[in-house]
Amino acid sequence: MKKTFLKIASFLLLINFTFSQDVDISRYLYFLRIGNVDSVKVALDSLKKLYPNSPNLKFLDAILKENAEEAVKIYYDIVLNHPEGEYSDEALFKIFQFHYAKGDYEQAKRELERLKKTYPSSPYAGINVKFPSLERTTTEVKCAFSIQVGAFTDKRNAEKEKSFFEEKGYNVELHTKIKDGKLFYLVWVGCLQDRKDAERLKKEIREKFERDGFIISSETR
More confident residue, 22 or 51: 51
pTM above 0.75, yes or no: no
Greater model confidence, 12 or 67: 67
Q: How far is CA 143 from the centre of its chain?
A: 24
Q: Which pLDDT score, from 0 to 100, does residue 139 have?
A: 42
- Specify the higher pLDDT residue, 59 or 129: 59
Edge-first strand order for the sheet with 182-192 is 172-179, 182-192, 145-152, 214-217
CA dihedral 67, 175, 151, 205 (to 10 degrees): -140
**Structure confidence at residue 25 as a pLDDT band (50, 70, 90):** very high
Of 144, 199, 181, the C-alpha closest to 53 is 181
**Whole-number pLDDT of residue 181:** 63
pLDDT above 70: residue 5: no
β strands within 62-194, DSSP E: 145-152, 172-179, 182-192
Percent of the chain with pLDDT over 70: 84
